[in-house]
Amino acid sequence: MAPLPPKLEYSLRLMTLPARPDRMMIIPLPHNKMTRLGRNNVSATDPEITTYLLNMEEYSYNRDLISRTHCELWFDKNTGKLMIRDGGRSAETGVYKPSVNGTSVQGILLPFEGEKELREGYTIELGAPHLCPGRRDDTPQPNEFVYRVEAEEPVGFSAPNPKKRRKVKSEPEVKREEKVKSKPKPKPKPTVDEDPPTLRPETRSLRKRKAEA
């Protein structure tokens, strides 16, 4: 029995460039840990949670776009699907709280404590106040944190395909060129006015005398 292929490696790729220290270009999503996005690193000591800090004060002009615990991503142990939910458990009180400006998937706002499956190619919008009526909308680009879900095979893995056999290209035969013997060029025939090259000077003078007689 052929071994099962390894799990795909998932990550989030930033779509709202440019990247900066609090807006990473790539956010990896491990299968064995929960990934938490927000601007609070209190839960960074939890070995089962990987926290990425977004929208830090020293880089952002509107720190209220992202909540302390904005959203959480994880892989379901039963189905293996990548899931996301808005908000998360507070590291200080242990109570689940929604984010201030919401989290949307494919432009649709997630309800609080509502879970949504993420597939390759889906986009996630964080800190988008235009999605929530009555929220702050004083930034030139509300969707400041937009990520796309990407999946790829692990590096160095190539899935074998028994149906396709590798064709070995045969080396082309080298044709030997046969040397064609060139025929000797014929010597040019002398014209009537010209004397043959074999005539001697004495013979030419004799012919001249006969012509004068």
Per-residue pLDDT at 36: 92
pLDDT of 90 > 50? The answer is: yes
Per-residue pLDDT at 159: 55
- Residues 9, 153 contacting (CB under 8 angstroms): yes
CB atoms within 10 A of CB 150: 16
Alpha carbons 199 and 189: distance in angstroms, whole number = 15
Q: What is the mean pLDDT of residues 4-16?
A: 85
Alpha carbons 150 and 158: distance in angstroms, whole number = 18
Classify domain 9-152 by CATH architecture: Sandwich (2.60)
Q: Which span out of 56-60, 93-97, 106-110 was modeled with the highest average pLDDT?
A: 106-110
pLDDT of 207 > 80? The answer is: no
pLDDT of 190 > 70? The answer is: no
- Where is pLDDT greater, at 138 or 205? 205
pLDDT of 141 > 50? The answer is: no
pLDDT of 179 > 50? The answer is: yes
Alpha carbons 173 and 155: distance in angstroms, whole number = 39
Instruction: Answer left, alpha or beta for residue 106, where phi above 0 means left and psi between -120 and 50 means alpha.
Output: left
Binning pLDDT at 50, 70 and 90, where does residue 205 land? low
Cα–Cα distances in Å, from 44 out to 48, 49, 61, 75? 9, 7, 24, 19
Which of 145, 118, 119 lies closest to 131, judged by CA?
A: 145
Q: What is the mean pLDDT of residues 128-148?
A: 59
Per-residue pLDDT at 80: 92
Q: What is the mean pLDDT of residues 26-34?
A: 94
Domain locations in the chain? 9-152
Q: How many CA atoms lie within 13 A of 4 on its CB side?
A: 3
Q: What is the mean pLDDT of residues 82-95?
A: 83
In the chain, the percentage of residues whose pLDDT exceeds 90 is 26
pTM score: 0.65
Per-residue pLDDT at 132: 47
Alpha carbons 50 and 33: distance in angstroms, whole number = 7
Report the chain's mean pLDDT, rounded to a whole number.
76
